[in-house]
Amino acid sequence: MKNLKRIAFFFYTVWILAVLSGCVTVLPEQPLPASSAPTAISAAVSDYSAEFADNWCYKTLSSALQNDYAVLYAAVKDCNVDKNVVISGTPYLGVEIKLTDLLNSDQTKILFTAFTQDNPAFFYIGNTYSYGGYQDENDRNINTFCLTFTMSVKERQDAAVKLDAAVSAIEGGIPKDADEFGKELWLHDRLMEKTVYDDQTANSGDPYAASPNAFTAYGALVEGKAVCEGYSRAMELLLHKSGIACTLVSGEDKKTGGSHMWDMVTVDGLNYHLDPTWDDGAADDPASYYRHVYFNLNDTEIQLTHTIDNDNVGISSCTGEDANYYRRLGLYLDTYDSDAIGQVIAGVVETGNDRVDLRFSPATYGNAQLLVNNFNRLSDAVNQYLTGGQTMWEYIYQTDDDYGTVTLFKK
């Protein structure tokens, strides 16, 4: 039998979550003394498979990565004592984990990405992780993984109670007869009402250091402030609690090249892109109330404004149209006729809604802009269909040229 040389090593990777940098930095290897050769791999872990077996990314992994995912899940779930892990001389709150299946260097990134993207409830996992093991003549063999935490045990226990309460309050209001689309819409709109974009954090020199919580569901749902990753993880957590499959998508703003994150959701068996961040309005602009421009887009539509990263885990194609907000609710219009448009708007106004969110075909979008820019003309078109003494309210409006949307907000 061939005698393989084994050289112990330890090195770490700093993984900056995809929102603002989207990069992985690998620092130089640091060999360990010979006495630090790898110990036996432990396979004794709690079985929480019922909690994660249906997770989107988990289901796409190889059996070896699934085994190690289970180990990470149990280690985080069962960690109830504050301990430090030391990475390149710097101590962090965290946990050191012995893996059950050896990994190579590339697989560690897949494991970390899949694990953190599947589990928004583990909001306290930091953006720094490390791994170690040994190298034989064929490959690096990873058998140790360290996760870092942004909160102590007591802090995260207290925070988890607050997050659970915030989620339960939103979930409790879902209409009892709601289908998957209806649940998704309810959760989306409540998130829009509860959260504002954290411009201060996003514009700081080191956003993650400025506010780790802004990147989490906790920041969005409890503190009410988040950057795009926090919005996306909050939406994912809410959907998971409602039994709707969802995962995260990392990419870029196609126009600026800035890193971005959003959701991919399965509704009625079809996948769609959902970007809650870009549906929300700016905190300092009262005209920028939330809309539904990015509510359930297919691949062709999302790529008008977004670029999808190549290293996403488990991303599927999105070809559906039926659960798009505008199409499902009859708010996608392909008409120049002001009376026809007025009738649709009247139907929304009569429900008591203070927002009318419409999307027009490319051929009719320009005319729609002209119509809403003329209050008297639009009012005449709407009022003929209103009953009970109602009249069209005064409004401000927003348009989106990429998607042909026109949104009226009651003043």
Residues 146 and 141: their CA atoms lie apart, in Å, by: 15
List the chain residues with pLDDT less than 50. Answer: 1-43, 286-287
Question: How far does Cα 287 stand from its chain's mean position?
Answer: 25
User: What is residue 285's predicted lDDT score, i.e. its pLDDT?
Assistant: 55
User: What is residue 21's predicted lDDT score, i.e. its pLDDT?
Assistant: 32
Angle at 346 between CA 342 and CA 348, to 5 degrees: 125
- Topology of the domain comprising 153-326: C8orf32 fold (3.10.620)
pLDDT in tens, 359-379: 999 999 999 999 999 999 999
Residues 224 and 87: their CA atoms lie apart, in Å, by: 32
**Selection from 155, 160, 404 nearest residue 293 by Cα:** 404
User: What is residue 138's predicted lDDT score, i.e. its pLDDT?
Assistant: 72
Sequence letter at residue 377? R
CA distances from 379 to 130, 160, 352, 372, 394 (A): 62, 49, 16, 9, 9
**Selection from 321, 409, 394, 401 nearest residue 368 by Cα:** 401
Answer yes or no: are the C-beta atoms of 271 and 264 closer than 8 Å.
yes
Answer yes or no: are the C-beta atoms of 147 and 164 closer than 8 Å.
no
pLDDT in tens, 273-322: 999 999 997 555 544 589 999 999 999 999 999 999 999 999 999 999 99
Q: In what order do the strands lie in the sheet with 395-400?
A: 332-333, 355-360, 405-410, 395-400
Q: DSSP string of 131-168? A: EEEEE-SS-EEEEEEEEEESS-HHHHHHHHHHHHHHHH
B/e letters for 86-105, b = 16+ CB within 10 Å, e = fewer, are ebeeeebbbbebbbbbbbeb
Residues 231 and 208: their CA atoms lie apart, in Å, by: 15
**Selection from 262, 207, 260 nearest residue 233 by Cα:** 262
